[in-house]
């Protein structure tokens, strides 16, 4: 008789990878069947039920079954709209948009601009994250400033950028309204908290005795950071950079206020071109062309972002993931 402390079957018999592959394949078949019959609700029920059964098979614990079942409800809420969005795309319309040079510029800007913002967030955010990890007087005030963009409405963030750095702002020699610099600045404003907080957590996780040993052996603070602290916190920096990039890709409000359309150097054409940030372009396409056309552009942006995100995750994965359930 199974108990809550003894796994009912044990995944060792099957192996994790085949089990995960089989689960994903089963979900794909179930979704296609439900979508074909016009009953996506059936798939939602199947997803929750199959997750509960799988959790019972893997662990046999009522606690694991309950948490997996409740968690699967959120997974359905997040995943089902995405699956339906992909399934309802018109392939010919997606292909037409994929061949449009104007869309190419938008996609390039939608990746390039956020990349600059992520790099800027890390260059300026890593030193601040290190200070926050070590602590200093007045730290709560600085922490509040860092986290403020997380709660400020994004259109308000754009207005703050214009007040701070626009005409009559702190640096009038730099033009931010309608410029690439302004767009990157707006993206950095909303994405920097992710880079700072993720990097700070990685600094805080380092055993302080390692830094102490480095100092005892004669290394100064610069050398200790370069040889000990920095390498140990590298994964946190990368994670922070990826989060900042992802946040900048999705930014709409601040960019729409500060830099509705920008001119930038576009390598495929060897000169300056003008385009809009991808979320702004998708919104305009929705207003002018409707849901189908905006959905096709959004699909391309989603695909490009997902590929880049997966590549970065793959390159930074140290294989420490165990799959959760022991």
pLDDT of residue 326: 40
* Three-point CA angle 312, 318, 321, nearest 5°: 105
pLDDT of residue 322: 47
SS3 of residue 266 by DSSP = strand
List, for residues 255-309, the tens digit of each pLDDT value. 999 988 899 999 988 888 999 998 999 999 999 888 888 899 899 988 888 888 7
pTM: 0.80
List, for residues 71-93, the tens digit of each pLDDT value. 999 999 988 888 899 998 989 99
Q: Is residue 257 within 8 Å of residue 185, measured between CB atoms?
A: no
Ranges 7-16, 41-50, 58-67, 255-264: which has the least confidence: 7-16
- Alpha carbon separation from 28 to 21, 25, 37, 180, 215 (Å, rounded): 11, 5, 14, 41, 55
What's the token pair of residue 303? 């695909």
For residues 107 and 313, the model is more confident at 107
Question: Which 3-state string (H, E, C) describes 94-116?
Answer: HHHHHCCHHHHHHHHHHHHHHHH
Ranges 20-29, 83-92, 169-178: which has the least confidence: 169-178
User: Which residue from 172, 169, 200, 188 is spatially nearest to 119, judged by alpha carbons?
Assistant: 188
The residue-averaged pLDDT of 155-167 equals 88
User: Helix %, strand %, coil % for the chain, to 5?
Assistant: 75, 5, 20
141 band by pLDDT with thresholds 50, 70 and 90: very high
pLDDT of residue 324: 44
- Average model confidence (pLDDT) across the chain: 86
How many beta carbons lie within 10 A of that of residue 83, not counting itself? 19
pLDDT over threshold 80, residue 118: yes
Q: Which residue has the tokens 């968690």?
A: 71
């Amino acid at each position: 008789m199974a108990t809550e402390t003894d796994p009912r079957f044990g995944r060792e018999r099957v192996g994790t990878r085949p089990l995960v592959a089989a689960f994903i394949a089963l979900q794909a078949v179930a979704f296609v069947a439900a979508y074909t019959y016009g009953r996506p609700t059936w798939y939602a029920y199947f997803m929750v039920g199959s997750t509960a059964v799988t959790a019972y098979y893997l662990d046999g614990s009522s606690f694991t079954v309950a948490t997996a079942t409740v968690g699967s409800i959120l997974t359905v809420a997040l995943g089902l709209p995405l699956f339906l969005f992909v399934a309802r795309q018109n392939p010919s319309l997606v292909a037409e948009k994929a061949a449009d040079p104007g869309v190419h510029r938008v996609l390039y800007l939608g990746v390039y601009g956020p990349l600059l913002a992520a790099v800027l967030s890390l260059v300026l955010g890593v030193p601040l994250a290190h200070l926050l990890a070590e602590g200093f007087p007045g730290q709560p005030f600085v922490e509040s400033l860092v986290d403020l963009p997380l709660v400020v409405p994004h259109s308000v963030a754009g207005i703050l950028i214009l007040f701070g750095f626009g005409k009559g702002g702190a640096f009038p020699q730099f033009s931010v309204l309608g410029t690439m610099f302004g767009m990157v600045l707006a993206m950095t404003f909303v994405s920097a908290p992710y880079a700072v907080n993720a990097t700070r957590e990685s600094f805080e996780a380092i055993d302080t005795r390692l830094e102490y040993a480095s100092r005892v052996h004669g290394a100064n603070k610069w050398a200790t950071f370069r040889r000990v602290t920095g390498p140990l916190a590298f994964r946190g920096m990368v994670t922070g950079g990826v989060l900042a990039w992802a946040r900048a890709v999705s930014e709409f409000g601040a960019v729409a206020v500060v830099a509705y359309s920008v001119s930038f150097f576009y390598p495929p054409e060897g000169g300056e071109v003008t385009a809009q940030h991808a979320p702004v372009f998708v919104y305009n396409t929705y207003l002018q062309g409707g849901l189908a056309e905006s959905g096709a552009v959004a699909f391309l942006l989603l695909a490009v972002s997902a590929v880049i995100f997966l590549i970065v995750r793959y390159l930074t994965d140290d294989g420490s993931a165990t799959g959760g359930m022991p």
